[in-house]
Amino acid sequence: MKKITNLIITLSFITQVQAQKISPSKFSIQGYYGPQGNFFVRSYDEKGGPSNKTYLYKKNFIGTISSAEIRYKTGSLSSVGIEYARGINLGKKNVSENINGVYIFVQDFQLRNIDNIFQFNYERLFSRNNSHLKYQIGLFILNSSQQEISIEGYDQSVDITERNFKNSKLQEGGASVAISYNKEIDTKFKLGIQAKVYYLISASNFEMIALTPTLTYTFAKKAE
């Protein structure tokens, strides 16, 4: 959360500098943090493969997601944005194994799955008469990091690894759909709630759903 807060502050400063040259009232920045449910982290096969083995792959379905997005108003009803989101799911593992007289203990060990999402969004009001309810569609690239442990007695090995984009090219492409409700709390800030679904086009399956509170800051128009 601290990283996202620092990112929002930095992006706010950058956008405010740009606002001296480009219609500042068209820019806003939004951040959110809240719960998400990740379908992938429960889809691992921990039972298959050769006998005399233990696979520790799965994480908890419920995790967290945080995001920062810069938006540009393209019309009275619509805007476009560039967003970075980070989803984290954890799984606590406990196991003890004996391979040829060698004891292996895993005690209260947290495995992580991290989704780094880079996204382009289009957002629009449902109705000109309702300025609070919006829908959003987006396209994204997802780079993930997956921590896994495998203990295999048949070849007497223990593998503790983190697969990611750098070492395993873990990257997918997808689309998202969101609905949000926002309410002004003063002249610059809006508080809201957003429901969002992430679908991986490259893998043909749903990745994640999220329901989060949002905070939006709209930059004040420069005085003439």
Tens-digit pLDDT string for the chain (224 aa): 555 555 555 555 555 555 455 444 689 999 999 999 999 999 998 888 777 889 999 999 999 999 999 999 998 899 999 999 999 999 999 999 888 888 889 999 999 999 999 999 999 999 888 888 999 999 999 999 999 999 988 888 899 999 999 999 999 999 999 999 999 998 889 999 999 999 999 999 999 999 999 999 988 765 55
Question: Which residues constitute the domain of residue 35?
Answer: 2-176
Task: Give the E-state strand segments of 100-218 in sequence order.
Answer: 102-127, 130-152, 157-163, 171-184, 189-200, 205-218
Spatial neighbors of 86 by CB under 8 A, at least 6 apart, are 4, 65, 66, 67, 114, 115, 116, 117
Residue 91 lies in a domain: yes
- Backbone dihedral region of 169: left (phi > 0), alpha (psi from -120 to 50 degrees) or beta? left
Per the CB < 8 A criterion, the answer to whether 176 and 138 are in contact is yes
pTM: 0.84
Quote the CA–CA distance of 183 and 215 in Å, as a whole number.
10
Residue 223 lies in a domain: no
Q: How many structural domains does the chain have?
A: 1
CB-side neighbour CA atoms (13 Å) of 120? 2
Q: Give the pLDDT of residue 23.
A: 47
Residue 25 lies in a domain: yes
Quote the CA–CA distance of 131 and 21 in Å, as a whole number.
27
Quote the CA–CA distance of 166 and 145 in Å, as a whole number.
9
Q: Give the pLDDT of residue 98.
A: 84
Residue 218 lies in a domain: no
Residue 48 lies in a domain: yes
Residue 222 lies in a domain: no
Per the CB < 8 A criterion, the answer to whether 176 and 205 are in contact is no
Residue 103 lies in a domain: yes
Residue 149 lies in a domain: yes
